[in-house]
Amino acid sequence: MKTLSKLITIITCLFLLIAASPTPPADKNIQLQLHARGESVDFDKLYLGARFFEIIQYFETKEKQKDCRGFPLKEKLLYIECLARTAKARSAQAKLKPLLAANPSDPAVLSTAGVVYLSLGNLDKAEKYIENALRLEPGNKKALLGKAMLLLYHRKFKEAKQWYEKSLTPGLKNRWAESDLAFLVGFDIYRACRDSRELTDLFKVHAGRIKKVSKKRYGNLKASYRMYKSAGNKMLFHTETGSDKVVVPFATGEKVLRVNTIAITVGGKTYKVLLDTGNGTGWILHSKELKEHLKPKKGGRVLTRIGTEAGLLDGYRHYFQAVDFNGFKIHHLDGVYVPKPHPYFPDANLNPMYIDNRVVTINFVRIELVLRTKARFEKDLAASPGNGKGLYRLPWYGYKYPFIPVVIDKKQKQGLAMVETGAEDIAFRFDFIDALQLPLTPREKYLANGKVFRYHQARVTLMVGGFRFQREAAEVWPFKEFHNRLTGLTADAVIGPTAFKGKYSVSFDPFDNQIILKQVVEEKEKKSACSILSSSSAAIGLKFFFRLYL
């Protein structure tokens, strides 16, 4: 029992939001049908409904062959694309190579290659293939979608919006504009732009399309439309500070499970808010009492599955006019309320990278959150000891989660790591480490629900800028549920607070789209800082890793 009580603090939490609307009719001009055993499968309908797993299941089950050699080129490309979008990019890449070699100037093949390499996190190659596809066929909807999503990962949100809306232009001979897939892409793009007006219109139009198809889903979409309408066309997640620099100390005490937790006081009571860059929705409430104090506008219902919990849990979208975080205020937050599945859950969960009008610093030495204007941030950096030494400015990729480029092991393999402040230490994706042919040692542990969690351990070196992190027994596991539902992109590594604690600060600069990793060694902290690079067994990580699927 004592072991289980300890393990309860390292449960992996998967947050699934199920709100997919009904699939529209397929367009006959691009309809894909495969006749097998007297059956006709409408792949276009499945694709436009973002039902990629069902397409894969058909190819793998009905044909009983995973190499898709028996299918026409169009169906092969569809299969490969769906593999990539469901985090099976390595398999997709292997199947794509011979087709790419045989059809180097085919826009359909090139656009599929763009999807595959985006899912692999190779943004440069993805851009190359997408640009070539658009040069040969400017109206290629898959390439237009790929271009929009690629710009999202480069954090060029306004440009992403332009390319997305270009794909909706009449005359492309498809019903893409009315599809669930277009709705999901639009939701991600307009939220990245913090555009409540566009979100209002998006939900209104999509609700109208399915009114006669499903009253239940229409009701949910209509409720979310009214919720966003109540925002009054305001910019979402607009942050206000009383000065050019605000410092908020982390919460302390026996009941605080994580170092990166801040306390807010509402209605005379204190609540704990976890700072979690793995929270894809930005703002999640778990405390019913806190929700009642904040009095949000309720939106549509969502069904959630969290971690090892059995079954689905009910939740709702909510819009909050403002939340005071005892030092700074965020106006017009859209988020989700899901009741606590366990008492140890935080009262709320905030992703600090959603703040896009301040530089946000999480200082793991001074144990504080700092919000600064761009000018004040640069002024403080220039005045800090070391003259710029022990500081690395890394490109910031991603629109829900923060990714940075890293180099792994002596083979100098490049990859993308997610800075995940809701995780524990450093963990790696299994197929990425396996491809490096590093020795893997099988391990297992028991979760709080009594189930066995099987994983591996490996000796891995991670280079982040000029900083070296050595782990003698880093955890290695599939990450198979932790991928972007639209692109399939999954981090190659996850870096949690334990890696930074006592030695580093991490700053998110939305103005230059950089993540700044700075070594902060103060005289009184030298002793604790020296131990940070010692070998240790990485925790399971991702304690409050929330994935939002729409």
Question: Which domains, and CATH codes, for the chain?
Answer: 21-179 (1.25.40.10), 360-529 (2.40.70.10)
User: Tens digits of per-residue pLDDT, 127-166?
Assistant: 999 999 999 999 999 999 999 999 999 999 999 999 999 9
C-beta of residue 32 within 8 angstroms of C-beta of residue 43: yes
C-beta of residue 509 within 8 angstroms of C-beta of residue 517: no
Eight-class DSSP state of 546:
B
Q: How does pLDDT run along the chain (550 residues), one tens digit per residue?
A: 333 333 333 333 433 343 333 333 333 333 444 444 445 678 999 999 999 999 999 888 766 655 556 788 999 999 999 999 999 999 999 999 999 999 999 999 999 999 999 999 999 999 999 999 999 999 999 999 999 999 999 999 999 999 999 988 765 455 888 899 999 999 999 999 999 999 999 999 999 988 888 898 999 999 999 999 999 999 999 999 999 999 999 987 655 556 789 999 999 999 999 999 988 889 999 999 999 999 999 999 987 655 444 456 788 999 999 999 999 999 999 999 998 877 778 899 999 999 999 999 999 999 999 999 999 999 999 988 765 679 999 999 999 999 999 999 877 899 999 999 988 899 999 999 998 999 999 999 886 667 788 999 999 999 999 999 999 999 998 887 788 999 999 999 999 999 999 999 999 999 999 999 999 866 444 444 333 333 333 333 333 333 333 3
pTM comes to 0.87
Question: How many other C-beta atoms lie within 10 A of the C-beta of residue 197?
Answer: 16
Angstrom distance (rounded) from CA 115 to CA 447: 36
Q: Tokens 């949000």 label which residue? A: 296
Q: Which of 501, 494, 225 lies closest to 367, judged by CA?
A: 501
C-beta of residue 414 within 8 angstroms of C-beta of residue 407: yes
Both tokens of residue 199?
A: 């979100």
Q: Dihedral sign, CA of 429, 367, 341, 351?
A: negative
Angstrom distance (rounded) from CA 153 to CA 49: 23
Express the helix, strand and coil content of the chain in percent, nearest 5 each.
35, 30, 40
Q: Is residue 525 classed as helix, strand or coil in its secondary structure?
A: helix
Angstrom distance (rounded) from CA 41 to CA 59: 11
User: Tens digits of per-residue pLDDT, 197-229?
Assistant: 999 999 999 999 888 888 989 999 999 999 999
Angstrom distance (rounded) from CA 128 to CA 141: 16
* DSSP per-residue codes, 36-64: ETTEEEEHHHHHHTT-HHHHHHHHHHHS-
Q: Which of 166, 155, 148, 525 lies closest to 364, judged by CA?
A: 525
| Maximal C-alpha separation, the chain | 76
C-beta of residue 358 within 8 angstroms of C-beta of residue 247: no
Both tokens of residue 424?
A: 């524990």
Angstrom distance (rounded) from CA 408 to CA 95: 26
Q: Is residue 524 classed as helix, strand or coil in its secondary structure?
A: helix
Angstrom distance (rounded) from CA 342 to CA 277: 21
Q: What pLDDT score was predicted for residue 387?
A: 59
Beta strands in 277-420 (DSSP E): 283-285, 297-306, 313-324, 328-337, 348-350, 359-363, 368-372, 391-395, 403-408, 413-419
C-beta of residue 68 within 8 angstroms of C-beta of residue 38: no
Angstrom distance (rounded) from CA 426 to CA 492: 11
What length is written for the chain? 550
Q: Provide the pairing of β-strand 493-495 with 413-419.
A: parallel
